Amino acid sequence: MNYTIFGESHGPAIGVVLTGVPAGLELDMDAVAAEMARRAPGQDPTATARKEADQVEILSGVFEGKTCGTPLAAIIHNTDTRSKDYSKLKDLPRPSHGDYAGSVRYAGCNDYRGGGHFSGRLTAPLVFAGAVAKQILAPMGITVSSRVSMVGGVADPTEEQINEIILAAKADGDSVGGAIAGTVTGIPAGHGAPDLGENAEGIFARHLFAVPAVKGLSFGAGFAFASMRGSQANDPFYMDGDTVKTRTNHSGGINGGITNGMPLTFEVAIRPTPSIAREQQTVSLSRKADETLIINGRHDPCIVRRALPVIEAAAALATVELLGK
């Protein structure tokens, strides 16, 4: 299964085409809607005020409620696109956004309104694709879950702490970053390979780094390995009935690029939303001169919580790809 996401934040619609979908999957559209709702804006006092139904319209690849096996196209119409003037973004790139790099890459022809193709809104079709992937995995006993493992420097925060940290940042016109820990259980041993393009870590990385704002990814003990000795890090094998297991899982379920039957565990770093309310230093691309910029509009001070279903979607899609290798 492969996917292509298309769309711009203020164009007619955003969407996704999934190819290689197995035929005969009875799509649970309520489960899809539930995933979409987890990501949707406007559900949370700390989040952006933009409210859109994120109503998915399936154009192809589903017949009488079941997947056909042919390419599955789904779109979400853009409805709440305010007509305000975005044109200054064309000249004054927002720090740490894709504006400047994108204007070079796309020869100044990218749709800059609302971030265009770089918008976090493009994660909506990704969540849709991930919901399909989860439904492919569920009958195999494979589940994908995630939790906020850090926000604003606080490890393993509670809901209450998360809200506090976010609201404090919001009060300062600022944003905060975080991290998400993910787990995929039920992947049998023996998927992946040590080679380029086939190792389990690389396949997960391909999908997870395609999520905007992800700037780090680790498996198992991850960067903590740099402070460990082999005798601590190695996962001792034992027999659990007829099944080979490991007593610890520092390897995150992967050895030599191949799954070993233990839960696949990973963590991603999420950068703070670059859209903050404070004055920032930028440049005028037309005048080639330093400038200051104040970004107006609706912006989440922290996207980490809304990113949970997005990260799960990417992990589910990675798992489907891994199983197909």
Asked whether position 151 contacts its own copies by CB under 8 A, the answer is yes
Residue closer to its own copies (CB basis): 34 or 219: 219
Site for its own copies in 31-90 (CB under 8 A): 57-61, 63, 66-73, 75
Site string for its own copies, 16-35 (x = CB under 8 A): -x-x---xx-----------
Residues 202-221 that bind its own copies (CB under 8 A): 202, 205-207, 209-210, 212, 214-221
Binding of residue 234 to its own copies (CB under 8 A): yes
Residues of this chain, 109-138, that bind its own copies according to CB under 8 A:
109-111, 116-118, 122
Ramachandran angles phi, psi of 30, nearest 5°: -70, -40
Query: In angstroms, rounded to a whole number, what is the distance separating the alpha carbons of residues 322 and 203?
Result: 7
Select from 27, 89, 98, 162 the one that contacts its own copies (CB under 8 A).
Answer: 98
Nearer to its own copies, 33 or 233 (CB): 233
Dihedrals phi, psi of 3, to nearest 5 degrees? -140, 150
Residue 172 within binding range of its own copies, rule CB under 8 A = yes
* Of the residues 37, 51, 80, 153, which one makes contact with its own copies according to CB under 8 A: 153
Distances (CA, A) of 174 to 11, 24, 234, 273: 28, 47, 41, 9
CB of 45 to its own copies, least distance (A): 19
Residue 297 engages its own copies in binding (rule: CB under 8 A): no
- Please list, residue by residue across 207-237, b when 16 or more beta carbons sit within 10 angstroms of its beta carbon and e when fewer do: bbeebbbbeebbbbbbeebeeeeeeeeebee
Q: What is the C-alpha separation between 317 and 87, in angstroms, rounded? A: 36
Smallest CA-to-CA distance from 116 within 134, 138, 94 is with 94
Site residues for its own copies, 257-276, by CB under 8 A, read 257-261, 267, 269-276
Only segment of 31-39, 45-53, 137-145, 150-158 that touches its own copies (CB under 8 A): 150-158
- The residue within the footprint of its own copies, chosen from 1, 52, 106, 161 (CB under 8 A), is 106
Q: Which three-class secondary structure state does DSSP give residue 268?
A: strand
Burial of 312 per CB tally in 10 Å (0-12, 13-18, 19+): buried
If one asks whether residue 4 binds its own copies (CB under 8 A), the answer comes out as yes
Contact 73, 56 (CB under 8 A): no
Q: How far apart are CA 91 and CA 74, in angstroms?
A: 33
Q: Which is nearer to its own copies, 216 or 263 (CB)?
A: 216
Are 236 and 222 spatial neighbours (Cβ–Cβ below 8 Å)?
no
Q: Which of 86, 95, 138, 185 binds its own copies (CB under 8 A)?
A: 95
Rounded distance, CA 105 to CA 107, Å? 6
**225 near its own copies (CB under 8 A):** yes
With CB under 8 A as the contact rule, the residue among 37, 223, 294, 297 that binds its own copies is 223
